[in-house]
Amino acid sequence: MLERIQLHDGVFFNGISETKFKSSSIIINFVLPLTAETACQQAILPYMLHNGFKECPDITEFHKKLMDLYSATIITSVKKVGAYQIISMGIEFIEDEFVPEKISERAIELLISSVFCPIMEKNNIFCEQILKKQKEVLKEIVLSELNDKYIYTLNRCHEIAFEGTNCAVNSNGTISGIENLTTKTVSESYFNMLKHAHIEILGIGHVPTLEMAKNKLKKAFENFKGSPSLKLVPQEFNFRTQLKEETQEMNINQTKLALLFIGGYPHTEKEEAATKLMSIIYGGSPTSKLFVNVREKMGLCYYCSAMFNKSVGSLCVAAGIEQKNLEKAKNVICSEFKTMQNGDFTDKNLTTAKLTFKQKLHALSDSSNKLNHWYLARILDQTFKSPEFFMELIDQITPQELVQQAEKFTLTTIYVLKGGGLID
Amino acid sequence: MTNLKEIKIKELAEKYFEINHPTGLKIIICPMKNYTSSHAILGTVYGSVNNCFGTLNGDLNTVPEGIAHFLEHKLFEDKSGRDTFELFSETGADVNAFTSFEKTCYFFSGTSSFLKNLKILLEFVNSPYFTEKTIEKEQDIIAQEIKMYNDDPDWQVFFNTLAAIYIKHPIRTDIAGTIQSISKITKELLYTCYGTYYAPNNMILVATGNVEPESVVTCVNELYNSKEFKQISFENIMPEEPTNINKKIIRKCLPVSIPLITVGFKCKSGNKVENFTNKFKYDMLLKMLFGETSAFFKKCYETGLVTEPFELQALSGNGFVSLLIGAKTITPEKLYEGILNEIGQKHVSGLNSDDFRCHKKDAFSSLVKTWEQPDALANVLFDLATVGLDFNSLFESISKLQINELEKLFKDNVEEEKSVLSVVSSS
């Protein structure tokens, strides 16, 4: 299903041919090391480029061009996967056969122009005025993390758990880091990204569109031939094993709680599948131990779920509760995890978790966005495995393998965002 | 053979089917070529605004705010105390539900056992069972849901806008109600609401994706023919909403990085079909005035009033039409004033015809994209069925729309004196 070819040293095109969608998408993912020193100077780049390009330096005109292409969408994102920072820029557009005019070639060219022909001064330095504006944009993105208390709680818990490692670095950097950015550092960072990032292009759509995108991008990267400074290898982290607990008070109605268990990076697909199944039984579905006990039986919360993050080997539980129920909630979340480690789950639990997981994998092929996420993760871990591969693997997992994975996990961090001070 | 009405969408070379079941249930089925998953929604045209209704025997019922949402939670438990999630876990399907202002929908997605899942869906939604004990437990869970939303600044700025716009219309209150209102919900009230709104003649079933029309109908027949259904008549009673707004400015204090605002406009409400079709026109109007291609957005972005695009939304339903413009800004009043000035100026200068052509392309593309996801398509087909329209009517409404019609809608409905400002800030 995935056709992968190397365009240049460190530049790969991954095509997934799919005709059922009415749109196609082409996304260039720049994979860079995530460090405290470089995070914000790299994170600001998609915003610098999102403003337009040399021949179209006006943001409004840029958006009019996109709308003229039947609302083609420019995709920009900055995310972290383990200790990688992924800067993504892409475009999504409707296939020619579903609109009254041909637009796919123009859409691909628009993406290439916005990535390779930015608005710069004559000496290849970004304009001061644009940088000043985009620093405000990025600062606001960092500050806004406070607004969603659920995400804020998860992020803080993750930062505490991985304190001192690059995994704890915010993918958008810090406010002081952003304030200190200069046109020189950001311009250097831009050329470094083009020449030395590991580049994975993902294209999903009709074959002729993918061919056209591949050829045009191969040509576009010819002027920026470099060598990737990053080799994609399985990431290993040193992590703290003793428990650390932190509480922050905030003027909110409900206490938000996060508990983070670390088990380490799964080294085989089988270990990964077993851990994923374990997390589904523990807290990944409406029949999970956490949902049934913490919400349905004890009525302590509206949500209580567990998420496995393969890239750092963590399992994080999140819940929103009354402050007075904090100890009760913590105890039951921990005791339910203990039952997983003791193998206290039924064959039926495992069978239904397998069914749930397999259906999710099977349904990936119906969503361009989900396919993108799946294959980027598989490219980053260099296994290139398809959802179908995992669907077959899941059937082989035994209860003992789940227990073996659960036993690897240790509770290392509890973060409490203490609320309850407000009167409804 | 079942009497399937075929609806062809010539713009996309797609089709779907409609069936009016003898029980009154409306069924919409859309097979999607090469899709592995299927999605089904069984929903009732009953939501958080329906708190007052009259029945044929002359009873007038006024029920606590939040009861439609509460009922949605409670239907997931059957007589044996077994949770519906457990039944769906046996097939591996994802099941969930939501309540909005005017509908309550129960749905599942899965890649196998479609008919088995459909049977579970039809059975659990048609088998209410409530006890005082389980109601009490649910009150605790929903209280936590309400508190979660009370900490959500986006949710708060949105509902405060509606509370500022509307004086009596129940859209002004939160879908889940309040901790006080849900404490008044009893088993008897739940059965009354269920008996009124969950009869098949008030419900719609939509199935999309990897589905086969005849087998869906057979499955419905098997279950519905074994039960006795009555056609239920009722009347939704809405308070008469004055034309003026409730409150010009409304504020709330929550921990946020910079203030969140929503500027709201109260527009004239027509009948339900008019309101539904006008929503698409208002969406286009909002994008033309304040979207990323507008001169106004450019000015606000360049002067630092905003750093992100505006969040634009037209809301419409039974007795309400409102336009919402959301933003993050350190100067809420200045931005509000700017929005009002822009509207005043555009009332005089009119809309730009090049912009209008461009935005028609945008509206066209959003309809095409709906056909990429079984769940998104199912929701649009459900909404169309609530007002008796089909998908072609959306394409027609865009292609026939003239700029002078949009301008008239704008000038007649978007006025400064019908505007409000909602602010959520840290202090």
Domain boundaries, chain A: 2-222, 244-418
| Chain B 277-296, residues with CB within 8 Å of chain A CB atoms | 291-295
Give the best residue of B11, B89, B299, B300 to mutate against chain A (max A CB count within 10 A).
B89
pLDDT tens profile B175-192: 999 999 999 999 999 999
Q: Tell me, what's the pLDDT at B312? A: 98
Residue in chain B lying closest to A419 (CA): B151
Answer whether residue B33 shows pLDDT above 50: yes
Residue intervals of chain B classified under CATH 3.30.830.10 are 5-236, 249-425
CA A42 to chain centre: 16
A235: Cβ contacts below 8 Å, ≥ 6 apart: A82, A83, A84, A265, A311, A312
Query: What distance in Å separates residue B22's CA from the closest CA in chain A?
Result: 34
Q: Which of B209, B181, B193 is nearest to B72 (CA)?
A: B193
Q: Tell me, what's the pLDDT at A235? A: 72
pLDDT tens profile A183-229: 999 999 999 999 999 999 999 999 999 999 999 999 999 988 877 77
CATH for B249-425 (3.40.50.300, 2.40.10.10, 3.40.50.1100, 3.30.830.10): 3.30.830.10
| Integer-rounded Cα radius of gyration of chain A | 23
State the average pLDDT for chain B: 95
And the tokens for B34? 């090469």
And the tokens for B412? 């007649």
Query: What distance in Å separates residue B221's CA from the closest CA in chain A?
Result: 27
Facing residue for B137 by CB, picked from A140, A150, A299: A299
Of all residues in chain B, the percent with pLDDT exceeding 70 is: 100
Give B295's DSSP letter.
Answer: H
Whether residue B298 lies within 8 A of chain A, CB to CB, comes out as yes
Is A60 close to B140, i.e. CB distance below 8 A? no
Residue with tokens 């329906």: B50
Q: Tell me, what's the pLDDT at B59? A: 85
Lowest mean pLDDT among A316-320, B20-24, B80-84, B112-116: B80-84
Q: Tell me, what's the pLDDT at A178? A: 98
Q: Tell me, what's the pLDDT at B2? A: 63
Residue B388 burial (CB < 10 Å; 0-12/13-18/19+)? exposed
Helices B353-370/B403-413 angle, 10° precision? 90
SS3 content of chain B, % helix, strand, coil (to 5): 45, 20, 35
Of all residues in chain A, the percent with pLDDT exceeding 90 is: 90
Residues B52 and B234: beta-carbon distance below 8 Å: no
Measured distance CA(A258)–CA(A256) in Å, rounded: 7
CATH for A244-418 (3.90.110.10, 3.40.50.150, 3.30.470.20, 3.30.830.10): 3.30.830.10
Is B257 close to A285, i.e. CB distance below 8 A? no
- Give chain A positions within 8 Å (CB) of B364: 70, 99
First to last CA, chain A: 53
CA B125 to chain centre: 19
- Give chain A positions within 8 Å (CB) of B369: 22-23, 94
Facing residue for A299 by CB, picked from B140, B152, B302: B140
Residues A259 and A336: beta-carbon distance below 8 Å: no
And the tokens for A134? 């985009």
Answer whether residue A270 shows pLDDT above 80: yes
Give the E-state strand segments of B92-242 in sequence order.
94-99, 104-110, 203-209, 234-236
- Give chain A positions within 8 Å (CB) of B365: 70-71, 94, 99
Of B72, B77, B102, B342, the catalytic one is B72
Helix (H) or strand (E) holding B114: helix B114-125
For this complex, say whether ipTM is above 0.90: yes
Query: What distance in Å separates residue A74's CA from the closest CA in chain B?
Result: 12
Answer whether residue A320 shows pLDDT above 70: yes
Q: What is the pTM of this model?
A: 0.94
Facing residue for A140 by CB, picked from B92, B293, B307: B307
Tell me the average pLDDT across B289-310.
95
First to last CA, chain B: 66
How far CA A190 is from CA of A38, A42, A86, A219, B403, in Å, comes to: 11, 7, 14, 19, 43
Superfamily in which the A2-222 domain is placed by CATH: Metalloenzyme, LuxS/M16 peptidase-like (3.30.830.10)
- Give chain A positions within 8 Å (CB) of B366: 71
AA letter at B111: T
Q: Classify B227 as helix, strand or coil.
A: coil
Query: What distance in Å separates residue B320's CA from the closest CA in chain A?
Result: 27
Give the best residue of A366, A386, A418 to mutate against chain B (max B CB count within 10 A).
A366
Q: Tell me, what's the pLDDT at B171? A: 97
Whether residue B183 lies within 8 A of chain A, CB to CB, comes out as no
Helix (H) or strand (E) holding B60: strand B60-62
Residue in chain A lying closest to B155 (CA): A148
Q: Classify B324 as helix, strand or coil.
A: strand
Query: What distance in Å separates residue A213's CA from the closest CA in chain B?
Result: 21
Residue with tokens 């806004």: A144
Measured distance CA(B291)–CA(B199) in Å, rounded: 42
Residues A217 and A112: beta-carbon distance below 8 Å: yes
- Give chain A positions within 8 Å (CB) of B307: 136-137, 140
> pLDDT class for A423, splitting at 50, 70, 90?
very low
Helices B272-290/B332-349 angle, 10° precision? 100
Whether residue B361 lies within 8 A of chain A, CB to CB, comes out as yes
Q: Tell me, what's the pLDDT at B239? A: 93
Whether residue B157 lies within 8 A of chain A, CB to CB, comes out as no
pLDDT tens profile B329-360: 999 999 999 999 999 999 999 999 999 999 99
Beta pairing, strands B260-266 & B60-62: unpaired
- Give chain B positions within 8 Å (CB) of A58: 298
Give B75's DSSP letter.
Answer: T
> pLDDT class for A52, splitting at 50, 70, 90?
confident
pLDDT tens profile B143-155: 999 999 999 999 9
Residue in chain B lying closest to A299 (CA): B141
How far CA B421 is from CA of B159, B244, B417, in Å, comes to: 12, 14, 12
And the tokens for B397? 């409404």
Residues A295 and A304: beta-carbon distance below 8 Å: yes
Q: Tell me, what's the pLDDT at A424? A: 45
pLDDT tens profile B195-233: 999 999 999 999 999 999 999 999 999 999 888 888 889
Measured distance CA(B261)–CA(B419) in Å, rounded: 13
Residue with tokens 């939304």: B313
- Give chain B positions within 8 Å (CB) of A145: 257
Measured distance CA(B391)–CA(B394) in Å, rounded: 6
Is B5-236 a CATH 3.30.830.10 domain? yes
Answer whether residue A236 shows pLDDT above 90: no
- Give chain B positions within 8 Å (CB) of A149: 151-152
Residues A308 and A314: beta-carbon distance below 8 Å: yes
Q: Tell me, what's the pLDDT at A422? A: 54
Residue in chain A lying closest to B83 (CA): A287
Q: Which of A184, A170, A173, A228 is nearest to A12 (CA)?
A: A228
Residue in chain A lying closest to B180 (CA): A424
Tell me the average pLDDT across B32-39.
96
Torsion of the alpha carbons at B241, B247, B252 and B256, rounded to the nearest 10: 90
Q: Which of A408, A420, A416 is nearest to A160 (CA)?
A: A416
A164: Cβ contacts below 8 Å, ≥ 6 apart: none
Tell me the average pLDDT across B48-76.
94
Is B142 close to A302, i.e. CB distance below 8 A? yes
Whether residue B147 lies within 8 A of chain A, CB to CB, comes out as yes
Whether residue B357 lies within 8 A of chain A, CB to CB, comes out as no
Of all residues in chain B, the percent with pLDDT exceeding 90 is: 93
And the tokens for A107? 């859409």
Measured distance CA(B379)–CA(B368) in Å, rounded: 14
B396: Cβ contacts below 8 Å, ≥ 6 apart: none
B10: Cβ contacts below 8 Å, ≥ 6 apart: none
pLDDT tens profile A118-171: 999 989 999 999 999 999 999 999 999 999 999 999 999 999 999 999 999 999
And the tokens for B166? 């509307």
Residues A365 and B105: beta-carbon distance below 8 Å: no
- What 3 state SS string does chain A have? CEEEEEEECCEEEEEEECCCCCEEEEEEEEEEECCCCCHHHHHCHHHHHCCCECCECCHHHHHHHHHHCCCCEEEEEEEEECCEEEEEEEEEEECHHHCCCCCHHHHHHHHHHHHHCCCECCCCCECHHHHHHHHHHHHHHHHHHHCCHHHHHHHHHHHHHCCCCHHHCCCCCCHHHHHCCCHHHHHHHHHHHHHHCEEEEEEEECHHHHHHHHHHHHHHHHCCCCCCCCCCCCCCCCCCCCCEEEEEECCCCCEEEEEEEECCCCCCHHHHHHHHHHHHHHHCCCCCHHHHHHHHHCCCCCCEEEEEECCCCEEEEEEEECHHHHHHHHHHHHHHHHHHHCCCCCHHHHHHHHHHHHHHHHHHHHCHHHHHHHHHHHHHCCCCCCHHHHHHHHCCCCHHHHHHHHHCCEEEEEEEEECCCCCC
Q: Tell me, what's the pLDDT at B116? A: 97
Answer whether residue A313 shows pLDDT above 50: yes
Q: Is A244-418 the same fold as A2-222?
A: yes
Check if B72 is active-site: yes
Measured distance CA(B242)–CA(A208) in Å, rounded: 58
Is B308 close to A285, i.e. CB distance below 8 A? no
Residues B401 and B281: beta-carbon distance below 8 Å: yes
Answer whether residue A62 shows pLDDT above 80: yes
Q: Which of A14, A46, A21, A31 is nearest to A104 (CA)?
A: A21
> pLDDT class for A372, splitting at 50, 70, 90?
very high
Query: What distance in Å separates residue A294's CA from the closest CA in chain B?
Result: 10
Measured distance CA(A91)–CA(A118) in Å, rounded: 16
State the average pLDDT for chain A: 94
